[in-house]
A and B are shown apart, each in its own frame.
Chain A
Amino acid sequence: MTGQLAAFRKSRTAVLAGPADAGTRSTFLPLPRTARRLRLTGGPQGGTVTEPSERTSRVSRASSRQYQQLRQARHQSAASREILAALGRDVANPGAVLDTIVEYAARLCGAHAAQLYLLEGDVFRLSRVSGETPEEYREYLLDHPIARNRSSAVGRAAEDMRTHQIADVLNDADYGRKDLQSRTGFRTLLSTPMILENEVVGVLSMWRTDVAPFDDHERELLEEFAAQGAIALRQVNLMRALKSRRAELASKVAQLEALREVGEAVGSSLDLDEVLGRVVSNAVRLSGTDGGSILEYDESDDSFHVRAAFGSSPDLLEQLRAITIHRDSTLVGRSALARRPLEVPDLAQTELDSHLDILFRDGWRSVLAVPMLRGDEMVGVLVIRRRSTGAFPPEVTELLQTFASQSALAIVNARLFRELETKTRELEIASQHKSEFLASMSHELRTPLNAVIGFSEVLLDRMFGEINERQHEYLHDIRNSGKHLLALLNEILDLSKVEAGQMVLEPSAFRVGDALDYTLAMVRERAAQHAITVTVQVADDVEMVVADELRFKQVVLNLVSNAVKFTPDGGSVSIRAHRDGNELIVTVTDTGIGVPPEDQERIFESFQQGRRGAAKEEGTGLGLTLSRRIVGLFGGRMWLESTPAVGSTFGFAIPGLPQREDEVASLGSGELPVVVLVDDDRASLDLLSAYLDGSPAQVLRAWDGVEALELVRRVLPAAVVLDIRLPRLDGWQVLAELKADPATTAIPVVITSVDDDQSRGLALGAEVYLRKPVRRDELVDALRRVGALVGSESGLSSSESP
């Protein structure tokens, strides 16, 4: 009795899974933690072996049936509780549940031992044992698994998918595992299958060393345990799948991170060596290899050169750089030619080319070469090596192909950038040569023309005596031809400048009417000679415009002199200006012979005067082309409307008109605070306006000091942003006038200036002084400080600067 008890006390689950098993027997679990197992078997609720009822079960197995049923029910429920508790406790460790099952099966069924077998291939191999079993037996059983056939209770249970009992193995003709019987002396065997999704995945089995068949309750109990075991097993399988999936994901994440890092490097850095260094180190790290290099293909000598390396000694690199890795005679070259990865699993077993020879002597044993391709172009080869022999797994090769294409991209990017740099430099030089040529041509050609025109005029003006009619006529021709040549020269130069992007506009605010009157004055004499009436009409709402005044006059003069040229005697030419929104529209209408529709577009091309009839005087054929290009530079457009025999209207539209007064008034009466921006430079104004886009403020603009004063007095804005260098009235004067006037003295002024004159600005009453160029955050901050902008609207809170 005591002996039995003592034996029971020792009957802890013997888990056979060891580290060595874990690798080969896939059904084994990680070892449960000892503390937990101890608690399971020896804990207070664990149904300790000294419990009287249990002792009773051992001695009076055949006593009152009722009592037995009750006892078994109690035990069964205690066992189920225990197992459920174990399941709940050991969600992450289902192996502990199996331990509990085997332990309880043996204990509650009054067996000498219980065993759990798991399916492994075609056989059932011992996984866990509980009860008295010799160590030697366990080892033997591990090495001699049980087949799915009639020779054992386990085999029969598995084959039939139901519980099998062998009442006495020594009296069973089919029983074939006497080897096991002889080692333990068991007589009665009970085995029940563990079934998952209609498959037997294991067998739970127990025995008695006396011939004492298990009764129905014990059988049911075992089946119950088997069912629980199957659930635990499923959990084991799920856990294992989860674990491997997690490992797979972790490795994928590592790969993706590395690729992202490399991708970012490729995208952001043009330092090729840095990018390739990162590519190769990541490639080596992620493929679990020992070293690698990137060899760039050089078309000029048909060979490969080391561009980057990782895990390579300086000595190795020096050796690799010293040799020529040809395309035809090396592994690297062959992989490039074949456009697919090539590997050498054991360098000792292969014929070594110069490159591999160096690697072999440096201690490398296996090599994988992955070509770096960019479309059809062969950029280089990524070489990965190991100090050990062995084939490279396909997933490594696949991974490295991704790295190879990243490297190819990096190299191609860098080459393109290099090319672009060279091209840009060449272009800059060419453009500089062209500018120098034009400048010198301008000087060289103008200088003699100056003399031609000048001396003709000296003679024509009879400065040195009388000339006859014919002399006068010829001198006139000489002078006009000279002037024509000069005009042509100027237009060619201007066009070249436009084409080269070198025509710099100098915008200023000027009166449209004055500019049109100027052009009228230029053609008045010629028009009078042909009795052509020239008129100028400027709409009331057009006053100032911001544009390059000289170029504006050049364009209008070109249109007007053309009109005069092509209008028959006694005709008329009208120059009109009106407003369309913020655009200034200028039209020049003549009563000439018109331009046929098919010529209306062509006429803007160089040296195309169209069939506009005989000109009274030759034009250069470049005027309209140049005018249209200049208008384009203004951000405007030019067009022609013409009806043959009726006349033509050349028109152009350019931005640059200030807002109309009624618009200003309506804006000024809005709910948002008004900010007046004053600057004579259109680009500056545009920039400042853009800064305030999306701000809770209405922006009004003024181009010169006088206009600014008028505007401020009219709308009484929340703030004025004032430039200092202004036409008509400079910023200092505007500031002084605003501060002197009680109506405007309280309006805060923010000065923007290229000059460093802060003390003067603040002394004159400005609130803030900003040096140009002004950043967005500076402007917004200044307007906030003076209270012209309130709140932290999203449009303001962003701190982006241009």
Chain B
Amino acid sequence: MTARRILVVEDNPLNLKLVRDVLQFAGYDVIEAQSGEEGLRVAQEHPPDLVLMDLQLPGIDGTETLHRLRQGSLGRNVPVIAVTAFAMAEDRQRAALSGFDGYVEKPISVRALPGQVEAFLAGRAE
């Protein structure tokens, strides 16, 4: 069984590296993008099984990127998870209202993240 492919869209290179390393360590195939536009392109070339998307992105923001992903190559069944700041109720609300399948809070917990990703993938698989 091939490793599931996770697309991480995150503009901060350090955080991107952290998430990539943690997910790779957990056995996922990670592809990355530093902007919404790049995310769309990468998703087109290498269709992911799950997308982790920061809400605050330069250029088109996370919500807009999500919409374009849904309209484009990404099927409706691929979960897209918002990465939101801790305790930012507005962000959570925005994520829920804009059609994300879930959210993980920043700061990302290195220990919890692989489990969270696995849960979202499992939820979709059933």
Per-residue A-contact encoding for B31-69, CB less than 8 Å = 1, 0 else:
000000000000000000000000010000000000000
**With a CB–CB cut-off of 8 A, which chain B residues contact A446?**
85-86, 106-107
Q: Choose among A442, A443, A486, A494 the residue with the greatest number of B CB atoms under 10 Å from its CB.
A: A443
A455 touches B107 (CB 8 A): no
Task: Find the B residue at minimum CB distance from A489.
Answer: B86
For A454, give its contact among B22, B56, B88 (CB under 8 Å). B22
**With a CB–CB cut-off of 8 A, which chain A residues contact B110?**
454, 457-458, 461, 463
| A449: interface (CB < 8 Å) | yes
Task: Find the A residue at minimum CB distance from B90.
Answer: A504
Task: Find the A residue at minimum CB distance from B13.
Answer: A451
Q: A454-B22, A458-B21, A486-B107 are in contact. Are A447 and B15 (CB under 8 A)?
A: yes
B89 touches A453 (CB 8 A): no
A450 touches B111 (CB 8 A): no
**With a CB–CB cut-off of 8 A, which chain A residues contact B17?**
451
Task: Find the B residue at minimum CB distance from A443.
Answer: B56
A458 touches B18 (CB 8 A): yes
Task: Find the A residue at minimum CB distance from B83.
Answer: A450
Q: A455-B18, A463-B21 are in contact. Are A550 and B89 (CB under 8 A)?
A: yes
Q: How far is the CB of B27 from chain A (nearest CB, A)?
A: 12
Per-residue B-contact encoding for A288-309, CB less than 8 Å = 1, 0 else:
0000000000000000000000
The SS class assigned to the A binding surface is helix
B21 touches A447 (CB 8 A): no
| A490: interface (CB < 8 Å) | yes
Per-residue A-contact encoding for B64-97, CB less than 8 Å = 1, 0 else:
0000000000000000000001111110000000
**With a CB–CB cut-off of 8 A, which chain A residues contact B106?**
446, 450
B89 touches A506 (CB 8 A): yes
| B14: interface (CB < 8 Å) | yes
| B109: interface (CB < 8 Å) | yes
**With a CB–CB cut-off of 8 A, which chain B residues contact A635?**
none
For A451, give its contact among B15, B56, B88, B89 (CB under 8 Å). B15
Q: Count the A residues whose beta carbon is within 8 Å of the partner chain — how many?
A: 23
B85 touches A448 (CB 8 A): no
Q: Count the B residues whose beta carbon is within 8 Å of the partner chain — how many?
A: 22
| Bound-state Cα–Cα, A30 to B89, Å | 87
Task: Find the A residue at minimum CB distance from B55.
Answer: A443
**With a CB–CB cut-off of 8 A, which chain B residues contact A442?**
85, 88
**With a CB–CB cut-off of 8 A, which chain A residues contact B87?**
490, 494, 550, 554
The SS class assigned to the B binding surface is mixed
For B12, give its contact among A447, A461, A494, A554 (CB under 8 Å). A447
A463 touches B107 (CB 8 A): no
Q: Choose among A450, A451, A457, A458 the residue with the greatest number of B CB atoms under 10 Å from its CB.
A: A450
**With a CB–CB cut-off of 8 A, which chain A residues contact B121?**
none
For B22, give its contact among A463, A550, A554 (CB under 8 Å). A463
Q: A443-B56, A504-B89 are in contact. Are A450 and B22 (CB under 8 A)?
A: no
Q: How far is the CB of B43 from chain A (nearest CB, A)?
A: 23
Q: How far is the CB of A437 from chain B (nearest CB, A)?
A: 15
B18 touches A450 (CB 8 A): yes
Q: How far is the CB of B24 from chain A (nearest CB, A)?
A: 10
**With a CB–CB cut-off of 8 A, which chain B residues contact A490?**
86-87
B108 touches A450 (CB 8 A): yes
B85 touches A454 (CB 8 A): no
For B109, give its contact among A447, A457, A486, A554 (CB under 8 Å). A457
**With a CB–CB cut-off of 8 A, which chain A residues contact B88?**
442
For B14, give its contact among A448, A464, A486 (CB under 8 Å). A448
B15 touches A450 (CB 8 A): yes
Task: Find the B residue at minimum CB distance from A548.
Answer: B89
**With a CB–CB cut-off of 8 A, which chain B residues contact A450?**
12, 14-15, 18, 106-108
B107 touches A458 (CB 8 A): no
**With a CB–CB cut-off of 8 A, which chain A residues contact B15?**
447, 450-451, 454
B25 touches A463 (CB 8 A): yes
A454 touches B89 (CB 8 A): no
| Bound-state Cα–Cα, A381 to B66, Å | 66
A453 touches B111 (CB 8 A): no
| Bound-state Cα–Cα, A490 to B106, Å | 12
**With a CB–CB cut-off of 8 A, which chain B residues contact A453?**
107
Q: A454-B22, A455-B18, A490-B87 are in contact. Are A449 and B107 (CB under 8 A)?
A: yes
| Bound-state Cα–Cα, A385 to B88, Å | 68
Per-residue A-contact encoding for B2-22, CB less than 8 Å = 1, 0 else:
000000000010110111011
B111 touches A461 (CB 8 A): yes
| Bound-state Cα–Cα, A442 to B90, Å | 13
**With a CB–CB cut-off of 8 A, which chain A residues contact B19?**
454
A451 touches B12 (CB 8 A): yes
| Bound-state Cα–Cα, A449 to B56, Å | 16
Q: How far is the CB of B91 from chain A (nearest CB, A)?
A: 10
A451 touches B14 (CB 8 A): yes
Task: Find the B residue at minimum CB distance from A458.
Answer: B110
**With a CB–CB cut-off of 8 A, which chain B residues contact A463?**
21-22, 25, 110
**With a CB–CB cut-off of 8 A, which chain A residues contact B108?**
450, 454
| Bound-state Cα–Cα, A550 to B86, Å | 11
Q: How far is the CB of B116 from chain A (nearest CB, A)?
A: 14
What would 26 A/B residue contacts be, using CB atoms closer than 8 Å? Answer: A446-B85, A446-B86, A447-B14, A447-B15, A448-B14, A450-B14, A450-B106, A451-B17, A454-B22, A454-B107, A455-B14, A455-B18, A457-B110, A457-B111, A458-B21, A458-B25, A458-B110, A463-B22, A463-B25, A464-B25, A486-B86, A486-B107, A490-B87, A504-B90, A506-B89, A554-B87
Given A450-B107, A463-B110: 20 more A-B contacts, CB < 8 Å? A442-B85, A443-B56, A447-B12, A447-B14, A448-B12, A449-B107, A450-B106, A451-B12, A451-B15, A451-B18, A454-B18, A454-B22, A454-B110, A455-B14, A455-B18, A486-B86, A486-B107, A490-B86, A506-B89, A550-B89
What 6 pairs between A and B have smallest CB-CB spacing? A457-B110, A451-B14, A454-B18, A450-B107, A447-B12, A463-B25
Q: List residues of B whose CB falls within 8 A of some A CB.
A: 12, 14-15, 17-19, 21-22, 25, 56, 85-90, 106-111
